[in-house]
Amino acid sequence: MRRKVLYAIGALLLLLIITNPGVKEFRSYLHESRENPIAGRDANFFIFSIYSNIGDYVDSPHNGHNTRFRYLGICGNFFSLGSESVF
């Protein structure tokens, strides 16, 4: 029984490592949803990665500023983690 659990955990970890998206996939993802991406990987934890993109955020016609958008990449997918202002 214990051996089966260890095999299942090992298989799950291997699946997460294999499906951890790379920078190429992240830039492809941004190309579909944002123009002119300046994108990169901030951290790689082998089973998931943290990515960021700096882009323009306009909250009114006369007020625009640079914003860093952060994403979690896991299992071949990307999830938004939020944003912060960049001066």
Which one-letter DSSP state was computed for residue 35?
Answer: S
Separation of alpha carbons 61 and 40, rounded Å: 29
> What per-residue confidence (pLDDT) applies to 5?
96
Q: Are 50 and 72 in contact (CB under 8 A)?
A: yes
pLDDT tens, position by position, 61-76: 666 678 889 999 999 9
pLDDT tens, position by position, 3-31: 999 999 999 999 999 999 998 899 888 87
Q: Is the pLDDT of residue 60 over 70?
A: no
> What per-residue confidence (pLDDT) applies to 87?
65
Which one-letter DSSP state was computed for residue 32?
Answer: H
pTM of the model as a whole = 0.81
